[in-house]
């Protein structure tokens, strides 16, 4: 026994493998990647040397030679709620299938976003960016740089591909459904921060149907906590709305808690709706009427689109919208038994 199978010195190079196998580095490379012909016997020797030396090609070396990183980046604001986490799951899964690693960047509470994004852009072959996570001029810079880019839930930017779920149409359907329940005074809890983002589109859709009967109410952010705080004030004040349409499920969950705290039965005293259909929406009491958005699919499609863009697919559609589904549960008002409910 010798010490050759001891812990690899972390820096085994292709040269050492070549030497040990008694061949050239070109042959080692060919044997390993299956490019070009290699005699069976030779491949055997190479493989053995690779095993013994625990050789793994240096990623930096490969990247430099190949001219690619085999990695995708993704920029999101935070991972506190289920939404971004779910999209990330779909993104990572597909990217992984396509042989690409995923480098993440969270911008929430970050100062030097521009530099961080540049740094990230430099180590990936393509980037997925959520709307409102990066300043507009930084996005423009990315577009101009030619880096394959997919904007998720973004208002859209000339030259960049955009991917999002539909908002306006289901928002209108949701509003119409609430009208069907007989509600007449509405609030939209979680008023949009930026024009053109997902929440803004939902708000526009809702207002298109309800007109002056709906009032926008801001929340500090789109979280359960913030929804709870804002709903406490909204529902506790005079002129309480009959129905509260929330920007998303988390805000709605907070609103349910606020209603309970105030002793207001949902949906009898106040109706509520969310958006996204996160796991907890089904488990809330009452179960949350919401709009299901294919979160994982959003991430998955982003990864796939990026792969195509990287491969050189110029003909990529500039804009893609995923379907959503109105999910009627108990929080929006009483329904005849036996209907819907999932």
By CB neighbour count within 10 A (0-12 exposed, 13-18 middle, 19+ buried), where does 317 fall? Answer: exposed
Q: Are 230 and 220 in contact (CB under 8 A)?
A: yes
Span 164-223, contacts to its own copies by CB under 8 A: none
Choose, by CB under 8 A, the member of 18, 29, 43, 92 that binds its own copies: 92
Q: Are 76 and 113 in contact (CB under 8 A)?
A: no
Kind and range of the H or E element at 46?
helix 40-53
Q: What is the dihedral of CA 333, 337, 338, 342, to 10 degrees?
A: 30
Judged by CB, which is closer to its own copies: 74, or 209?
A: 74
Q: How far is the CB of 35 from DNA (least distance, A)?
A: 5
| 80 touches its own copies by CB under 8 A | yes
Q: Are 1 and 52 in contact (CB under 8 A)?
A: no
Q: How many chain residues touch its own copies (CB under 8 A)?
A: 55
Query: Which does residue 165 bind out of its own copies, DNA, none, counting CB within 5 to 8 angstroms by kind?
Result: none
Neighbours of 10 (CB within 10 A): 7
List the x/- string, 117-146, binding to its own copies by CB under 8 A. Answer: -xxxxxx-----------------x-xxxx
Mention every residue, 6+ apart, whose C-beta is less than 8 A from residue 156: 162, 196, 319
Q: Is 211 left (phi over 0), alpha (psi -120 to 50) or beta?
A: left
- Give pairs for 101-106: CB < 8 Å, separation 24+: 101/70, 101/71, 101/72, 102/71, 102/72, 102/73, 102/74, 103/71, 103/72, 103/73, 103/74, 104/73, 104/74, 104/76, 105/73, 105/74, 105/75, 105/76, 106/75, 106/76, 106/77, 106/78, 106/79
| 307 touches its own copies by CB under 8 A | no
| 233 touches its own copies by CB under 8 A | no
Judged by CB, which is closer to its own copies: 39, or 64?
A: 64
Under the rule (CB under 7 A), what is the footprint of DNA?
A: 11-15, 22-27, 29-30, 32-33, 35-39, 41-43, 55-58, 60-62, 64-67
Query: Which does residue 258 bind out of its own copies, DNA, none, counting CB within 5 to 8 angstroms by kind?
Result: none
Q: How far is the CB of 140 from its own copies (least distance, A)?
A: 10
Judged by CB, which is closer to its own copies: 120, or 271?
A: 120
| 19 touches its own copies by CB under 8 A | no
List the x/- string, 40-69, binding to its own copies by CB under 8 A. Answer: --------------x-xxxxxx-xx----x
Query: Which does residue 23 bind out of its own copies, DNA, none, counting CB within 5 to 8 angstroms by kind?
Result: DNA
Mention every residue, 6+ apart, whose C-beta is less than 8 A from residue 24: 18
Query: Which does residue 137 bind out of DNA, its own copies, none, counting CB within 5 to 8 angstroms by kind?
Result: none
| 253 touches its own copies by CB under 8 A | yes
The sign of the dihedral angle between the CA atoms of 211, 212, 214, 219 is positive
Query: Which does residue 88 bind out of DNA, its own copies, none, counting CB within 5 to 8 angstroms by kind?
Result: its own copies
The residues binding its own copies (CB under 8 A) are 6-10, 54, 56-61, 63-64, 69, 71, 78-80, 85-86, 88-89, 92-93, 96, 101-106, 110, 116, 118-123, 141, 143-147, 224-225, 253, 257, 260, 279-280, 283, 285
């Amino acid at each position: 026994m010798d010490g050759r199978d001891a812990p690899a010195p972390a820096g085994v190079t292709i040269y050492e493998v070549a030497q040990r196998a008694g061949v050239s580095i070109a042959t080692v490379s060919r044997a390993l990647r299956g490019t070009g012909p290699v005699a069976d016997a030779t491949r055997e020797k190479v493989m053995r040397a690779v095993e013994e030396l625990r050789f793994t090609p240096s990623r930096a070396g490969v990247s430099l030679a190949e001219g690619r990183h085999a990695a995708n980046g993704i920029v999101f604001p935070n991972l506190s709620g289920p939404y971004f986490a779910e999209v990330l799951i779909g993104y990572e899964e597909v990217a992984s299938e396509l042989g690409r690693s995923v480098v993440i960047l969270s911008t929430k509470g970050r100062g030097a976003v521009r530099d961080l994004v540049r740094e990230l852009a430099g180590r990936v072959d393509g980037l997925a960016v959520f709307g409102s996570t990066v300043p507009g001029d930084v996005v423009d810079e990315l577009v101009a740089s030619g880096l394959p880019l997919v904007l998720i839930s973004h208002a859209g930017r000339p030259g960049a591909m955009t991917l999002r779920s539909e908002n306006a149409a289901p928002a209108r359907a949701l509003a119409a459904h609430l009208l069907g329940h007989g509600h007449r005074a509405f609030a939209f809890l979680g008023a949009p921060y930026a024009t053109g983002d997902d929440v803004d589109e939902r708000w526009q859709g809702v207002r298109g149907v309800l007109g002056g009967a709906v009032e926008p109410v801001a929340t500090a952010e789109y979280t359960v906590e913030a929804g709870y705080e804002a709903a406490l004030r909204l529902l506790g004040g005079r002129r309480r709305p009959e129905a509260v349409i929330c920007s998303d499920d988390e805000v709605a969950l907070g609103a349910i808690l606020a209603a309970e705290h105030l002793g207001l039965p949902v949906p009898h005293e106040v109706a509520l709706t969310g958006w996204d259909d996160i796991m907890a929406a089904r488990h809330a009491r009452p179960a949350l009427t919401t709009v299901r958005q294919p979160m994982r699919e959003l991430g998955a499609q982003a990864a796939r689109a990026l792969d195509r863009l990287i491969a050189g697919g110029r003909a990529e559609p500039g804009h893609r919208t995923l379907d959503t589904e109105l999910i009627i549960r108990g929080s929006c008002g009483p329904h005849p038994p036996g209907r819907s409910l999932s």
